[in-house]
Structure 1
C-alpha cells in the first residue's frame, strides 16, 4: 500500500511525535509499504507562538495537495492538528477522501496551563478537527475513555513501542555522580509540571535533559540541578543508564515515550498516578506511581532493574505498527490495491 502521513512535527524536533512517526514509517517500509511523510521540513515556516524553536508550515495547502496527488496514496493519515494537518484535512474533504487522524498531545491542557485558551474551547475545536476522521488513533485506554467522555467519536487504540536494541542496560562510568541520580527527560515547559520534580527534597543529584521556554528561569532558580540541554535521540541511552530513577512529573502527557525508553534501560520510573503513567508503568514492578512524588522517587530506588527492563520488553514498534496498519485496512477496505484514492475522484469510494 501507499500510505501518506502528514505531520506538523518537523523531523529535526526532539519529541515523542517525531520518534513515533519515524519508527512507524520504518516499520511500514520494512513491511513492504511505500510511505510519504509530509512535514514542515520541506515548506516555508514561521515560529510557533510561545514556542519559537518550533517551526510551523506557512500556507502549505497547495504543496500538500500537489504532493498527495502525485503520490497517489491508498491511505492518508493526519497526525497533528496544526497548519499541515488542517491543509491535509481540507484537501481530503474537498476530494471526498476518507482519512484517519491521531491524538498525540493534550493541547487543551497545554494551552490552559499557559493561560492562552480555556480547555473547553480547545476541546470544542479538536472535536471539529477530528470529527470527519474515520478513526481517531489514541495511545492508551485512559486517553480513549477521556475523549469518549468529551464527545469524540471513532476512537481506536494505537500503542507505542521502544527499540530495545538501542535502549538497553549498558555499563557507564558513574564515578563522578553523587548518588542517587534522579533524571528528567523532556521539554522544559510549564505543561510538563517539571517544577514539581525540582522542588522535592531528595538526597543525591538531579539532571534535566531537554530544552524549552522555562529552562533559563528554572536554571537560575535551581542552581544545584544539572540542566544538560536537549540531546539527540540516539544519545539518550547513555544518560538513562547513568540514572537511578527516571522522574516523570507530567499530568498532561498522553503516553510518555521517554518512560518506556528509560525502563528498557532498566531505570525505574517515579510518576503521578495519572493517564500516561497509569497505562505505561507497572506499579511496583517497573516504577512507582504516587501522589507524593518524593515517596515515589524514594521507593522506586528499591525496584529490580532486571524486572523493570522485562516490563519494557512488552512494548514493540512492530506490534504498534500492526495496530496502525489494521486501522488503515479496516477503514479503507484496502488489500494493497494500487493508487485508488485519487483515481477519477468525484465521491468517496465504497468502504470509506
Structure 2
C-alpha cells in the first residue's frame, strides 16, 4: 500500500474518516488527498409510492414464495414464512405497521445484535409495534450469535423477518417497502446503504462514526437522518422511538436527504469531480 501510494500523484478517499486513516497509516500529507464520496444511481434508487397490497406482494415473494433467509448451519431458504406470519404485519385497520429495514452482513461491526436489542425495547412501548426486515446476511457467514437465535431469544419472531441475501437490483424495491432504514454499524468507511436509502426517500439511522458521520445531518433545518452514539442501546432506542412515532419528521428528513443525494451523490456529480481532479493533475 505504501509503495502504491508513493507512486500516486493524488490519493482519493471516499470520506474524511478514510482520509485521516490514510494520513495515519501511510504517512500521506493531507494536501495530497482528495475526498470524493461514492455515487448512487438515482434513476434506479428513487422514491416509489407503493400501495399496501404492492408491498405485501413483494414481502410475500421474498418471505413465502422464494425465501432466502437461512438458519444457523443451514442453506438459504431454510427460514420460511407463511401467509399467517405476514398477517402479523397488519394493524387492525388493515394497514401495514411501520417497517424498519436493516441492510448488511451478519458481522459484528454491523452491530445487528445491538439493533435487535433496541428494537425489542421499542416494540414494548409502541402500538402498533413496528416490523423489522433483515435484508442480507451472506449465506454461511456469521459472527457471534446468529440473528435468528437472537430474534427467538428476544421473543421477536412475529416482529422480525429474515429476508436473506438478495440481488442488489432488488434493493430499491426493498427500500420502497420501508418507512425507516436503521443500520448502527461502527466506523463504516463510507456506507452506501445510507445514500441508497436517502435516494429512495427513506431516512436512515446510523452511528456518528466513520463515513455516515459526514454523510448524514442529524439536527437543524437540513436534517436528513439520525445519528446515534456507537454501541449505545439507549440512544439507538430513543432514535427509533422518535423516528417511528413522528411521520411528519420522517417525511421532512426524507425530503432533505433526497434533495442532498440528487445534488451531491448522483453519479453525474461524482464523475464531474473526478474529471476536474484529472484535469488539475494534467494541468498543474
Q: Taking structure 2 as the reference length, what is the TM-score of the superposition?
A: 0.65
1:202 counterpart residue number: 122
- Between the aligned partners of 1:134 and 1:149, the Cα distance in structure 2 is 18
* 1:88-125 Cα distance to aligned partner (Å, 9 max, x none): xxxxxxxxxxxxxxxxxxxxxxxxxxxxxxxxxxxxxx
Q: When the two structures are aligned, how many residues end up with a matched partner?
A: 209
- What SS does the aligned partner of 2:101 have? strand
User: Structure 1, residues 217-271: CA drift from partner, whole Å, max 9, x if none?
Assistant: 2223314221111222221111111112101211121111111111111111111
Higher relative contact order (Cα pairs below 8 Å, separated by 6+ residues)? 2
Tell me if the contact between 1:210 and 1:229 (Cα under 8 Å) persists in the aligned partners: yes
Q: Does residue 1:310 correspond to 2:259, yes or no?
A: yes
Q: Which secondary structure state, in structure 2, belongs to the residue aligned with residue 207 of structure 1?
A: strand
Residue equivalent to 1:238: 173
Deviations 1:177-232 (A, max 9, x none): 35221111122212222222122123211111112311882223314221111222
Superposition map of 1:116-135 within 5 A: 126-127=1-2, 130-135=5-10
Q: Which residue of 2 aligns with 1:143?
A: 18
In the other structure, the counterpart of 2:35 is 157
Match of 2:149?
220
Residue 280 (structure 1) aligned with residue 215 (structure 2): yes
Instruction: Give the TM-score normalised by structure 1.
Output: 0.54
Rounded Cα–Cα distance in structure 2 between residues aligned with 1:247 and 1:181: 10
Structure 2 residue aligned with 1:296, among 239, 249, 265? 239
Q: 1:260 aligns with which of 185, 190, 195?
A: 195
Task: Say whether residues 1:324 and 2:271 are aligned partners.
Answer: no
Unaligned runs of 5+ in 2: 54-86, 91-96, 124-129, 230-234
Matches within 5 A, 1:177-192: 177-178=89-90, 179-192=97-110
* Correspondence for 1:171 among 36, 40, 49: 49
Structure 1, unaligned runs of 5 or more: 1-125, 335-350
Give the C-alpha shift of residue 151 in structure 1. Answer: 4.6
Deviation at 1:138, TM superposition (A): 0.6
Q: What is the CA distance between 1:307 and its match in structure 2? A: 3.1
Change (3 A) 1:129 1:174: farther
Greater fraction of residues in strand: 1
Comparing both structures, which one devotes a greater share of its residues to helix?
2
8 Å contact from structure 2 (residues 224, 255) kept in 1: no
Conserved in 1, the CA contact under 8 Å of 2:5 and 2:26? no
